[in-house]
């Protein structure tokens, strides 16, 4: 006798379960993916990326313009560097940061659109 209220019997070990499982990336990739999104999950970093999308900038100016302490800025730039999101070039004692590519900013824009649709 099949108990329809036990959802467990519905599809586990069946075709649908496999379809679901095969659509989910492997653990290793999944972690990378979550790590990537977590980078965008901080308003300071989003600010930095948005700023660099307009123009390359030195640490000092970023710090002043975005109202973030020099130290915090440096720490966050390191995070973005290690995540391969920004690159830098040195000119004397000044270090100019810029986006490694514009893909990131496109993803942020997608998020912005998403939120705006949701709000309206």
CA 109, 115, 119, 120 dihedral sign is positive
Q: Which of 76, 82, 16 is nearest to 49 (CA)?
A: 76
Applying CB under 7 A, which part among 4-12, 21-29, 100-108, 109-117 lies near DNA? 4-12
Residue closer to DNA, measured from CB, 89 or 114: 89
Closer to DNA by CB, 16 or 75: give it.
Answer: 75
Q: Which residues of 97-114 are buried (b: 16+ CB within 10 A; e: fewer)?
A: bebbeeebbeeeeeeeee
End-to-end CA distance of the chain: 48
Burial zone of 52 (CB within 10 Å; 0-12 exposed, 13-18 middle, 19+ buried) = buried
**16 lies in the site for DNA, by CB under 7 A:** no
The H-or-E segment that residue 94 falls in is strand 94-99
Q: Does 65 bind DNA (CB under 7 A)?
A: no
For residue 50, the partner it binds in its own copies, DNA, none, with Cβ less than 5 to 8 A by kind, is: its own copies
Binding site for its own copies (CB under 8 A): 5, 7-8, 10-12, 16-17, 19-21, 23-25, 27, 29-43, 45-47, 50-51, 53-55, 57-58, 60-61, 64-66, 84, 91-94, 96, 103-104, 106-108, 110-112, 114-115, 117-118
The residues that touch DNA, with contacts defined as CB under 7 A, are 3, 5-8, 38, 41-42, 44-45, 58-61, 63, 68-72, 74-79, 88, 90, 92-96
């Amino acid at each position: 006798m099949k108990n329809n209220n036990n959802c467990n019997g519905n599809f586990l070990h069946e075709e649908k379960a496999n379809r679901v499982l095969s659509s989910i990336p492997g653990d290793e990739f999944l972690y990378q993916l979550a790590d990537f999104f977590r980078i965008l999950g901080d308003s300071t970093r989003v600010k930095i990326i948005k700023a660099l999308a307009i123009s390359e900038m030195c640490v000092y100016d970023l710090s002043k313009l975005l109202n973030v302490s020099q130290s915090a800025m440096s720490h966050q730039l390191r995070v973005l560097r290690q995540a391969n999101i920004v690159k830098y070039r040195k000119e004397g004692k000044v270090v100019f940061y810029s986006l490694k590519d514009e893909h990131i900013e496109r993803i942020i824009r997608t998020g912005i659109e998403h939120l705006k649709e949701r709000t309206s």
